[in-house]
Structure 1
Amino acid sequence: MTAGTRLCTGAEILAVTDDLWTRSIIGPSWSGPGWLMPGAACYGTGTADEPDGCLTAVGDPHAVAELVRLLLAGRAEPPYLLTVPRGTQVEGTETAATQWEVLSLHHAPPPLPAEGRVVPVAREPSAEITALLTAASPEHSVRPGAPDVELWAGIRDTNGALICGGAMVRKPGAALRSLASIATAPAYRGQGLAAAVTAWLARQALEREPSGCLLALDSANHGAKRVYERLGFRTVREFSTLEFDVW
């Protein structure tokens, strides 16, 4: 264990932070690793084979910077990705940080006319979801077949083709659900379809957990942010994700 930090459980992390994004990730099945020091927490968000290959740190930016410094100093090599509160100073990264934010919704959105067209989309076969995301949102965060997806939903055209879609995600046992990979086929943009799918999925999430639902958004995507804000979403956290050269 690195001096000045201590290993901890997911329950201990949840006990010291009110960070909503963390509450959408850490549940009973989360297996670590995690570290605490006064004012900051850090936890693994990598794969099952390499859980500390990606790390997320939350808390006061100055405390997070110190915690990250100590953790990196104690590792043979850095993680692939490190997510920290925006404004945290971290040394050793090789690329510009990706800036993104977490939006939360705590009340049902206003009804939208196109919501009546939204239908659940079968997870398998996933070819139509894959085709939509490849064409409309190549950088999508959640892919068909992802085990944490509880529900895919979308809108079809008159021929039955999927023209807009999105996912509702829940990490096993985590308190909050998030929405992800919301995309509209380019030819159908500007008709309010993504707003309708988002509103429909948000209602599903709030029915399951009334305390709220989340979504993550690239901070450069101002158009999508305006759509989400009209539905009642508000930014609650701003993060930077840093990439290290580990090859």
Structure 2
Amino acid sequence: MITEATLVSGREPILAATDWHPYARHSIKPDTDATGLHSAGTTVWTSSGSPSGYALGDPRRAVELFTTSAMFRSADWLHLPRVTDPAVLDGLRVSQRDEWDFLWTAEQPPQQPDEDLVVPLTDADHPAMTALIDASFPTSTARPGDPRIRGWYGIWSGDRLVACGADRTHGDVGFLAGLVVSDRDRGRGLGATLTSAMTRRMFERYDRVALGVWTHNERVTRLYQRLGYTGRVGRTSVRLSAGSPESVGSAGSAGCAG
């Protein structure tokens, strides 16, 4: 049971509580009304109107903070530090669980061949993007028309789109999403070229650039690390079924001391 937690209200105090961690910077938009709790090195937070709760620190303490505070009553996604003990999720009605890693870099990537082939894509290219994603990365959550996406980049081979990726920046850390290469064109270094070129463009606006990768995909993780994405924090994201958990918000505040 949480005996003491400090209320942190506003983006800047939440970032300060997490020591300005790139994941926290990514998750909260500038000028957004955000609220959280901090307890014994663990910080949890949510933004106004968001269906998600976010956390850094200890996963068990994060779940306790989430489930004892009314501010997270409407959260249907909890983005937790990596959960290795199944008992941490006891009492949560989890309908989906994703294990992934948040990677980031503070350095320009090493130059890759043919970066000049990476070009911005437009609405007119949506059919080509959809066809490529459906064929080569059907589980991707980055899709043309998604309002969270600020822009797309791709590589063409003649009239055929062979690679594409999205700028899904949310906070003040550049964020790459939905990077995909055509199955028939893999092994040509196009993934490295696309990632490097997009990262370089992101650094024109941001001092950190990040992306997410499934934890089991170590081959792709090694590629990103080779391109400079050496910052890494494990994440466990859980989707809660309707009415879950029963205790979220039911116990009032978590004994706030500030």
State if a TM-score over 0.5 links the two structures. Answer: yes
Q: 1:103 to 1:150 in 2, by over 3 A?
A: same
- Point out the more displaced range, 60-69 or 106-115: 60-69
Aligned to 1:230: 226
- Structure 2: runs of 5 or more not aligned: 244-258
Unaligned runs of 5+ in 1: none
Alignment partner of 2:30: what SS? coil
- The alignment partner of 2:166 has SS state of strand
**Residues in 2 aligned to 1:108 and 1:67: alpha-carbon distance in whole angstroms:** 37
Tell me the CA shift for residue 96 of structure 1.
6.2
Identity %: 26
1:82 match: 78
Which position in structure 1 is the counterpart of 2:147?
147
Q: Contact 2:36–2:46 at 8 Å: present in 1 too?
A: no
Shift of residue 205, structure 1, vs aligned partner? 0.8
Contact 2:155 2:164 in 1 (8 A): yes
The answer to whether the Cα contact below 8 Å between 1:149 and 1:169 also exists between their aligned partners in 2 is yes
Q: Deviations over 1:195-216 (max 9, x none)?
A: 110000000011222x220001
The answer to whether the Cα contact below 8 Å between 1:206 and 1:212 also exists between their aligned partners in 2 is yes
Q: 1:221 aligns with which of 217, 236, 246?
A: 217
Q: Does 1:110 align with 2:110?
A: yes
Deviations 1:141-188 (A, max 9, x none): 322223343331111112x221101012222xx321111100011111
Structure 1 stretches of at least 4 aligned residues deviating more than 6 Å after TM superposition: 75-78
**TM-fit CA distance, 1:129:** 1.6
Q: Is the 8 A contact 2:8 2:14 kept in 1?
A: no
> Deviation of residue 76 (structure 1)?
9.9
The 5-angstrom pairing of residues 43-58 of structure 1 reads: 43-44=45-46, 51=50, 53-58=51-56
**Corresponding residue of 1:168:** 167
| AA at the equivalent of 1:161 | R
Query: Which stretch of structure 1 is more off in the superposition, 62-71 or 135-144?
Result: 62-71
Aligned length: 235
Aligned residue number for residue 235 of structure 2: 239
SS at 2:150 equivalent:
strand
Partner SS state of residue 94, structure 2: coil
Q: CA RMSD in A?
A: 2.6
- Structure 2 distance, partners of 1:30, 1:127, is 34
Instruction: Return the alpha-carbon distance in structure 1 between the equivalents of residues 23 and 148 of structure 2.
Output: 15
